[in-house]
A and B are shown apart, each in its own frame.
Chain A
């Protein structure tokens, strides 16, 4: 079927929101503080996905959602008990549903090996008739009718009261059509309420809705079909659906229209008959909206769906604005106007405004990490199931907002790290007990904002890194020479070396050759860094530091052999103008900087970038003390430093490609381009040259270039 792709896209976006709601609801249910409304919310989410998926003929999705929904319906009509087992299955079903939505989005077939067992488990909660019925959607509700052939338990009909709003009419809906549709559901009696009609013709407002209807429909046991009819109108008319039994205190419909009851079903379905009193005391029961005025589901129009393209255009324009601002201020300074104090004050205002606009635009792109974290919970459950470990994933700081691109591109690295933590980090239950730890492993995923950066931490309470084993493996794989003496930190970072995998046996979860180096590359391309800290016996923490936005950063303007460049402030610890005594020679070419009793290597930036090194003595240069992954601290020698300012990051990937040691470019006030240095890459090239075997160092270098 050919559909407008934009409509389909809107459906998938809608699905994302629904799945978030669904996941939230399921978590609440599992934690035990769910009420009837939660169950209903979950039910509605599944139902809406099913409904819309049906419109797009996504059969696999519809089939699964249908079964899921049927079980949920049983649950909310209290025919099923929400025990641990059921909730577990529901949660798995939620995961599968999300997967199916993803599959449908990517237009690939569902993974039946995963779907079918869950489908079967869902089925096991349903009574046999439902099974027959479920194959043919139209019969589901009739099959349920059998169940209610029982005492005066569940409702046998519904009273629908609805009053269309002015908007209802304005959108071109016709109450007559709705009533006709309702009449098709069963024996119906319709009452129209005229009392709101103004008595004076002059008071009559043509666009207002004055009429309200009360429709009693007999012979229905669930309000699903009624809900369906009102599916797209629930917020533009006042709607209540109440089971008739509650109103009248007695079921209206006689049993004579019912087909023969299946006695087996009565016996196999003990929780079938909640007594009437219970239904009364909990009038929320089968009715998803217990209040008379149907409240708007989500507060309307709190979110705006905007094509990201438009936002990007805006961001580009704001970037230009900031560049333009620096051009103007540079020009004015050069002009050396007399009495220009006021002018510069105005210019400062301009600068603040530009910055404010830029922050505002960036905020549009910011998104909470919550959906990402929820996805990780799924991953963690799957990984725990696959490894037979009991792991609890705790998430913190879900409301932390990160650039949309970052959220999207973090999914893969995080998935990998979570799987790794569960597969390698957390021990098997018996080992945990032996180590005097609780049987259930704990994995903590947290996000927080720390002065201009976002920090995401993945902490497990497992065995910690086994450093001697890591080093053995690295030697075995030829990543380091056997006689290299490495610091703990350097050993930890071997995890990120290409081709490194610690799993003794390759499991189907992790250890597929693509190791942590992929994680690191993904994070580095986002301008972030990964750090490891481990506490043998007590666990390992990976922390990912990311810039809040990708488009703008604070940089130090420097010159290196006549070229102006930018070094990110975030990586600079301090700047040093060395005395003669601070610089120590190490062999022919290498020099060390002595700072507060420590010696750190000096890297000549010009040399590293393949430029002619300036012949200046170190004493005449400026050293930037930077913190990098490969070398804990090192000093970058540059010719001069000028200024700290905010620069707009331009990617070079589109038109040129990757350059080792350069993360991007920016445009300066005079219109010239300055390259942005990536100190991590510069230092790692250096580290590869000195530490690793030449072969691998060379390989890493080629790979990076």
Chain B
């Protein structure tokens, strides 16, 4: 019986790994709608500096966030080679500008660890947990922390 419960608890999850601000991050695949190349956006007035603007995604107006800047790194200078990951959390659709997207990894939930306690900053607040793969480590991004709307409510 208990084995069965365990089997239920250790689900297989898939993550898309990406690079932002020179570091490895990942996003759960079910939260990703699509990945597309960077194209110029429409700038929004009075917006925080990590909000690049809005773009047209098949008729919907989607805000684009510079993930690196949001996480406290230096701003990305977007070029054709940069990538936008369109994410959907609940009803909110947001595009994240990242430096590159690497691969899809499959991990079981028991491989996801909590962040070791340490000093907090913009990056650690936006991270749900970490995954160790071989020698490397990748960090799961908490998308609900990134929504520009949440920021405004807080402010």
Contact = CB atoms under 8 A, between A and B. Distances in A.
Q: Do A and B come from one complex?
A: yes
Interface string B42-71: 111111000100111001111100000000
Given A610-B45, A610-B46, A657 B149 contact: yes
Interface residues of B, number: 24
Interface in A653-705: 654-662, 665, 667, 671-675, 705
B130 interface: no
A297 B4 CA distance: 62
Interface string B81-95: 000000000011110
B42 A563 contact: yes
A672 B43 contact: no
B129 interface: no
A144 interface: no
A652 interface: yes
Given A658-B152, A659-B47, A662-B44, A672 B93 contact: no
A659 B45 contact: yes
Nearest to A673: B42
Contacts of B91: 654
Given A654-B92, A655-B92, A656-B149, A667 B59 contact: yes
Nearest to B88: A655
B16 to A, nearest CB: 21
Given A654-B92, A655-B61, A609 B45 contact: yes
Nearest to A670: B56
A665 B94 CA distance: 16
Contacts of B44: 656, 659, 662, 675
A672 B42 contact: yes
A656 to B, nearest CB: 4
B45 A657 contact: no
Contacts of B78: none
B21 interface: no
Given A662-B45, A665-B42, A674-B42, A656 B59 contact: no
Contacts of A611: 43, 45
Given A610-B45, A655-B60, 7 more contacts: A320-B59, A610-B46, A656-B44, A656-B61, A673-B41, A675-B44, A705-B46
Which A-B residue pairs are the 4 nearest by beta carbons?
A: A609-B45, A673-B42, A656-B63, A657-B152
29 contacts: A609-B45, A610-B46, A611-B43, A611-B45, A650-B61, A652-B54, A652-B63, A654-B91, A655-B60, A655-B149, A656-B51, A656-B149, A657-B148, A657-B149, A657-B152, A659-B44, A662-B44, A662-B45, A665-B42, A667-B56, A667-B59, A671-B56, A672-B40, A673-B55, A673-B56, A674-B42, A675-B45, A705-B46, A705-B152
Interface of B: 40-47, 51, 54-56, 59-63, 91-94, 148-149, 152
Interface of A: 316, 319-320, 323, 563-564, 608-611, 650-652, 654-662, 665, 667, 671-675, 705
